[in-house]
Amino acid sequence: MESVAIFAERNSLILHEVIELIKDEGETGSPAVQSRGRKLLQRLERLQTNK
Protein backbone atom coordinates (compact mmCIF):
# COMPACT_ATOMS: atom_id res chain seq x y z
CA MET A 1 0.00 0.00 0.00
CA GLU A 2 2.80 2.38 0.87
CA SER A 3 4.38 1.99 -2.58
CA VAL A 4 1.13 2.64 -4.39
CA ALA A 5 0.50 5.70 -2.21
CA ILE A 6 3.90 7.11 -3.14
CA PHE A 7 3.13 6.63 -6.83
CA ALA A 8 -0.19 8.41 -6.34
CA GLU A 9 1.53 11.33 -4.62
CA ARG A 10 3.75 11.74 -7.65
CA ASN A 11 1.09 11.09 -10.28
CA SER A 12 -2.20 12.81 -9.58
CA LEU A 13 -3.90 10.94 -12.45
CA ILE A 14 -4.11 7.81 -10.31
CA LEU A 15 -4.75 9.52 -6.98
CA HIS A 16 -8.51 8.88 -6.90
CA GLU A 17 -8.10 5.21 -7.85
CA VAL A 18 -5.47 4.64 -5.19
CA ILE A 19 -7.64 6.26 -2.53
CA GLU A 20 -10.46 3.87 -3.44
CA LEU A 21 -8.06 0.91 -3.39
CA ILE A 22 -6.79 1.80 0.07
CA LYS A 23 -10.34 2.28 1.36
CA ASP A 24 -11.23 -1.21 0.12
CA GLU A 25 -8.15 -2.74 1.74
CA GLY A 26 -8.94 -0.92 4.97
CA GLU A 27 -12.29 -2.65 5.17
CA THR A 28 -11.01 -6.17 4.60
CA GLY A 29 -7.41 -6.13 5.81
CA SER A 30 -5.86 -7.05 9.12
CA PRO A 31 -5.85 -4.49 11.94
CA ALA A 32 -2.31 -3.43 10.97
CA VAL A 33 -3.35 -2.91 7.35
CA GLN A 34 -6.40 -0.94 8.47
CA SER A 35 -4.28 1.32 10.66
CA ARG A 36 -1.72 1.97 7.93
CA GLY A 37 -4.52 2.55 5.44
CA ARG A 38 -6.08 5.25 7.64
CA LYS A 39 -2.75 7.09 7.85
CA LEU A 40 -2.18 6.86 4.10
CA LEU A 41 -5.72 8.01 3.37
CA GLN A 42 -5.25 11.11 5.49
CA ARG A 43 -2.10 11.98 3.56
CA LEU A 44 -3.59 11.29 0.12
CA GLU A 45 -6.91 13.01 0.80
CA ARG A 46 -5.01 16.10 1.92
CA LEU A 47 -3.22 16.07 -1.43
CA GLN A 48 -6.49 15.61 -3.30
CA THR A 49 -8.09 18.63 -1.65
CA ASN A 50 -5.04 20.81 -2.34
CA LYS A 51 -5.15 20.15 -6.09
Predicted confidence at residue 21, as pLDDT, reads 94
C-alpha distances in angstroms, 34 versus 24, 38, 49, 50? Answer: 10, 6, 22, 24
Ordered by start, the domain boundaries in the chain are: 2-50
What pLDDT is recorded for position 48? 86
Supply the pTM of this predicted model.
Answer: 0.85
Per-residue confidence (pLDDT) for residue 51, from 0 to 100: 64
Alpha-helical segments (H) within 2-30: 2-10, 15-28
Return the pLDDT at 50: 80
- Give 1-51 pLDDT, tens digit per residue: 999 999 999 999 999 999 999 999 888 989 999 999 999 999 999 988 886
